[in-house]
Chain A
């Protein structure tokens, strides 16, 4: 059986036809706009936060939430792009090259760093002391800190994955194994984002989170079990 026949008869890809690019573009626009639209609907007119007197650090907290939402959506896009592999991306007609994967990875890290920096700065301004407790993992200080700990561990695993890819010439083939740290990182980031955020459980965004979870599971299954997905490199 040649490769083409194997792909067509595979349970995960049988009879697969790539959707038109316009459909994928529309889906992407909806996925990327939803968190921002929901954030705007809960925050309202941001100008009010300057027009009226508000509690110190509140604007930084709001921007931190926005950065967190987009960090997660960008992480999902990055993960899907990687899981598809070069041949999978070609089949879906979404191949943008390795430079895109690298740029998106940098964007994810920048958004995560912005999310953390804004939250810690906002909390520090509010409490008048450096809120270092939000950078320290712990599962014994209640629900809120436990969920933050999921985010901290996710960020550390993400950093390992990014550094391993950036320094792959130095670390050798082991970088590929280290790069798979994105899977537990994504799972923990998903838990953190879903359980701590108000916006992440508001109707349409909750549906987006479900879509992201389901698509990741399908992407991971395809990566492991389909021959076309393994045909190309992740990065």
Chain B
């Protein structure tokens, strides 16, 4: 039994050493910055959209969760999908905002995207889709609100809460 435990420990130690060695030679694009993953507040994101910048939302949750509800325009990309990332599919947005429910998974996806060389990747700051909804911002809801309806509402919302209320 001791041989097995020592064997597992040796493998894990080697894996960790390899990972650290790789990261030391390929540091994330945020090296030198105080944060491992840049954050974008909802206000910053709305401001960018209002100014006509291209913002891509990345939903880090499972496909079933994305189907049930997501931020308008969001693409579904779990942590395991980042390994097979097609950079062209992301286009060339000004900002990529990863999110989930509380942004545990969103943080990890944003970090993985940074490591994959996607420098625009950031994490939504105010607790993911829950924070987004608490702000009264629209989401696409299966069977209730379509992508186009939610996008129209978001287009109104970026001009202020009064406009957002009118769109509802």
Chain A interfacial positions (CB closer than 8 Å to B)? 25, 28-29, 32-33, 36-37, 40-45, 47-49, 51-55, 57-58, 61-62, 96, 100, 122-123, 126-127, 142-144, 195-196, 198-199, 201-202
Between-chain CB contacts (< 8 Å), 6 pairs? A25-B7, A29-B7, A40-B12, A40-B16, A45-B20, A143-B64
Task: Please tell me if the beta carbons of B11 and A44 are within 8 angstroms of each other in the complex.
Answer: no
Task: Please tell me if the beta carbons of A36 and B8 are within 8 angstroms of each other in the complex.
Answer: yes
Q: Report the separation of the CA atoms of residues A54 and B110 in the bound assembly, to the nearest whole angstrom.
A: 12
Number of B residues, CB within 8 Å of A: 42
Chain B interfacial positions (CB closer than 8 Å to A)? 1, 3-4, 7-8, 11-12, 15-16, 19-20, 23, 28, 30, 33-37, 39, 61-62, 64-65, 68-69, 78-80, 83, 101-105, 107-108, 111-112, 115, 123, 127
Instruction: List residues of chain B with CB within 8 A of the CB of A40.
Output: 12, 15-16, 19
Task: Please tell me if the beta carbons of A29 and B8 are within 8 angstroms of each other in the complex.
Answer: yes
The smallest beta-carbon distance between B75 and chain A, in angstroms, is 16
Instruction: List residues of chain B with CB within 8 A of the CB of A199.
Output: 80
The smallest beta-carbon distance between B79 and chain A, in angstroms, is 4
* Count: A-B pairs, CB below 8 Å: 100
Task: Please tell me if the beta carbons of B79 and A42 are within 8 angstroms of each other in the complex.
Answer: yes
Instruction: List residues of chain A with CB within 8 A of the CB of B65.
Output: 142-144
Query: A119 — nearest CB in chain B belongs to which residue?
Result: B104
Instruction: List residues of chain B with CB within 8 A of the CB of A53.
Output: 34-36
Query: A34 — nearest CB in chain B belongs to which residue?
Result: B11
Instruction: List residues of chain A with CB within 8 A of the CB of B36.
Output: 48-49, 51-54
Partner of A36 from the list B12, B78, B83 (CB cut-off 8 Å) is: B12
